[in-house]
């Protein structure tokens, strides 16, 4: 059974109420610009990772957060595993539906695999050389 991680905690799955809005699901081939006008009315956006090595969802997340200003729940779904979590969070994801068989406690430990990142990200807009005075 797949496990949901939200806010660096194991969470229970809950369907959004109609008042909260719809769930929007984007595939790697989808252009976030095509849904930009709907983002204010959705309960969450799910970005599918159909293959372990398909990284287009990382770019979709950055575009949603930085270019289109999406502030709601951004959930990674599909082939999401421990090895990706730190980087997914850096790109703007705040919820992760782990693939079946993934150990949730091990996955949570992934957020602490790295203490620092060199690159600018959604989470830290300044690269490391700018953060270090």
Domains, the chain: 4-131 (3.20.20.70)
Ranges assigned E (strand) in the chain: 4-6, 9-11, 22-26, 42-49, 73-78, 95-97
pLDDT of residue 38: 95
Pick 92 or 16 by higher pLDDT: 92
Tens digit of pLDDT for each residue in 48-95? 999 988 999 999 999 999 999 999 999 999 999 999 999 999 999 999
> Average pLDDT of the chain?
91
Tens digit of pLDDT for each residue in 104-130? 999 999 999 888 888 888 888 888 888
Q: In what order do the strands lie in the sheet with 4-6?
A: 9-11, 4-6, 95-97, 73-78, 42-49, 22-26
This prediction has a pTM of 0.88
């Amino acid at each position: 059974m797949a496990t949901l991680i939200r806010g660096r905690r194991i969470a229970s799955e809950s369907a959004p109420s109609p008042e909260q809005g719809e769930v929007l699901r984007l595939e790697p081939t989808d252009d976030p610009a095509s849904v930009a006008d709907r983002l204010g009315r959705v309960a969450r956006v799910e970005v599918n990772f159909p293959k372990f090595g398909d990284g287009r969802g990382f770019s979709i997340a950055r575009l949603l957060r930085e270019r289109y200003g999406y502030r709601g729940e951004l959930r990674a779904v599909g082939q999401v595993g421990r090895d990706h979590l730190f980087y997914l969070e850096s790109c703007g994801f705040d919820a992760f539906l782990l693939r079946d068989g993934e150990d949730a406690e091990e996955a949570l430990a992934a957020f602490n695999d790295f203490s620092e990142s060199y690159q600018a990200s959604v989470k830290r807009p300044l690269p490391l050389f700018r953060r270090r005075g």
